Amino acid sequence: MPQPAYSDFGASYVARGFELAFQKGVRRYALIPLSINIVLFSIAIYFIFHYTSLWVADLVAWLPQWLQWLEIIVWPLIIIGVLLLFALTFTSVANIIASPFNSLLAEKVEERLTGVPGPDGGVAGMIKDIPRTLGREMQKLVYFIPRTLGFLLLLLFIPVIGQILWILWGGWMMTIQYADYAFDNHKVPFRAMRSSLRTHQGKSLSFGVVVAFLASVPLINLVMIPISVCGSTAMWVDHMHKQNLP
């Protein structure tokens, strides 16, 4: 296995994802999740620009009189929170639809980085594993939804701290969402995957926060699904592969 090239800071794996997603031999496997993402995020961008300013004004109006001085701080944080909410929502939908192709992409990236053929056998394996792959996406939703609602309440009712915690939670969600494809390809249980990511929490969280931020930036967000899959798979190969395989 090659020595890690991006070992010190998890966010650097986003750059690694950009590099890998458009390499020959990987590029064609990124096209389908990329196309799905472009369609769904085009819809998301319309709603973001149409409704965000109205929602931000309403949320700021909820501040009690004695906290009105926080408006200058809360305004940009709420904008980030609203954008992140859209990014997470549409990314979740896109990833459910694209999950079999994301798994195949992760397999091909790992194969390229390690030189070892993937465990699921390419397209035929992808088709066979569709029920398991979709089931894994449901596990993520069961994990995400109640916690997201809790952090959303903090976002609405605890100025500044709630927004910061919301951003960190969004980063953790993104890390789990994309890193899981490589883990699931090797049948690593969902709980064990989360435990492994927590072991590398600094790398995992910094990767996810950058992905979450870029997923809320128009145009850049259109390419983030395949880039995030590629980057998180490289992080798996460099730091978590040996620990999670027999």
Please give the chain's pLDDT, 246 residues, in tens.
444 445 557 789 999 999 999 888 888 888 888 888 788 777 777 776 676 667 666 766 776 776 666 666 666 666 666 666 666 677 677 778 888 899 999 999 999 998 887 666 667 777 787 888 888 999 998 998 888 888 777 766 676 777 778 788 889 999 999 999 999 998 999 999 999 999 988 889 999 999 988 887 777 877 888 999 999 999 999 888 877 665
**Cα 118 to Cα 111: distance, rounded to the nearest angstrom:** 6
Residue appearing with tokens 């020595």: 3
* Contact status, residue 166 vs residue 81, Cβ threshold 8 Å: yes
Helix (H) or strand (E) holding 230: helix 224-235
